[in-house]
Amino acid sequence: MPTPVDNSPGRDVPRLELRAPGTLDPRHTFATFLIGSCNPFAHAACRAVAGEPGAHYNPLLIHGPSGVGKTHLATAIGHALLERSPTARVTQLSADTFMRELRGALRSDRMDSFKRHLRDVDLLIVDDVQLLAGRQRTQEEFFHTFNALHDQDRQIVLTSDRAPKAIARLEERLRNRFEWGVVVEVEPLDLDTRRELLEQSAARAGFTLTDDVVVFLAAAAEDARQLEVLASRTRARAGLTGRRIGLEVAREVVEGFRRSVDVSFDAIARAVCERFAVRPAELRSRRRTQNVAIPRQLAMYLCRRMTTASYPRIGELFGRDHSTVMHAAEATERRRKTDAAFHATVEELERRIRGD
């Protein structure tokens, strides 16, 4: 199956981290999408787009809170198109990746290749377009990419955590284009949908949950990601303690989960700043001196470890992109394994933040 991007070595080909047809998440198809009272219109719109891409609803923007299936639906469109037309050119990327690759193309004077790779596709899927807000050069390039595709009747599918009119610092011309086609909302998951998703998640992992555990865990979770976390932690806790997967184990898991959710960014920032004698504003600054960089990385690590916030969300809190947060988390974890004193410091901070 051909890919929309030629990543072979060459001076004029930028390193694009774009998803080719073979790398669309195989789990995210229409067949695996659970239709509930929170998403029927969004599902119907995505089906219509998949049936005739570029003909109706272009662009299609899917918005809603985290963990409700926006990316699942967008990816399912790509799978449906490729199933019908295996040679179709499909590219999926996040707005954060678009920004990062644009910066790389500008630095290396390879903008022609960057533009060609993004505009010569049949379907472009871009996740988290709210992250474009406030970035003038990025919005300008995305505006021209959008126009080039739309003028050729190439399908554009976007996801966002909010409706276009609610995205602050988004250029009006982009906001208008996002609303040219159709804007659909995926609402927070209702309880029945959460129960079904929980049962599906357990089944995929090869275990079952009793009805009382399903009801209890579904009531404790807000979205699909939390459901998967609770299901996997319940199974793991039961296995590690030699008990059956029952309500008692589920209660222990939810209690620990709620403690982690209750941890706020402010609490983490305050504890880290007190420990390292830095100001909260310095955690968001561009200073790279060691006395600021280490506590900043540690704060990012603790946000990822002690809250349910995603990498992009943590990046927003620190004024960075998600790749910076990922690097910070990995670097901090490596240091914990090799530096006993640093490991003790991290454990001390975790206890202080939890209030133990």
Q: Is 197 left (phi over 0), alpha (psi -120 to 50) or beta?
A: alpha
CATH code, residues 21-185: 3.40.50.300
pLDDT digits (tens, 9 = 90+) for 69-103: 999 999 999 999 999 999 999 999 988 889 888 98
Identity (one letter) of the amino acid at 118? L
Residue 353, pLDDT > 90, answer no
What residue segments make up the domains of the chain, in order of their start?
Answer: 21-185, 191-262, 265-354
261: pLDDT confidence band, cut at 50, 70 and 90? low
Within the chain, residue ranges assigned H as helices are 40-51, 70-84, 95-107, 111-119, 136-151, 172-178, 191-205, 211-220, 224-241, 247-262, 265-276, 280-283, 290-306, 311-318, 322-338, 340-354
> What integer is the mean pLDDT of 95-115?
89
15: pLDDT confidence band, cut at 50, 70 and 90? very low
CATH of 191-262, one of 3.30.70, 1.20.140, 1.10.8, 1.20.120: 1.10.8
- For the chain, the average pLDDT equals 86
Instruction: Report the DSSP beta bridge partners of residue 91.
Output: 124
263: pLDDT confidence band, cut at 50, 70 and 90? low
CA 91, CA 23: separation in Å to the nearest integer?
Answer: 10
Quick one: pLDDT at residue 14?
Answer: 36
Quick one: pLDDT at residue 134?
Answer: 83
Quick one: pLDDT at residue 228?
Answer: 86
Quick one: pLDDT at residue 260?
Answer: 61
Quick one: pLDDT at residue 69?
Answer: 93
3: pLDDT confidence band, cut at 50, 70 and 90? very low
CATH code, residues 265-354: 1.10.1750.10
CA 140, CA 132: separation in Å to the nearest integer?
Answer: 10
Q: What is the DSSP string of 140-176?
A: HHHHHHHHHHHHTT-EEEEEESS-GGG-TT--HHHHH
pLDDT digits (tens, 9 = 90+) for 297-338: 999 999 888 876 777 778 888 888 877 888 888 888 888 888
Output Rg (C-alpha) for the chain, integer angstroms: 22
Tokens 């929170």 found at:
38
pLDDT digits (tens, 9 = 90+) for 215-242: 999 998 878 888 888 898 999 999 999 9
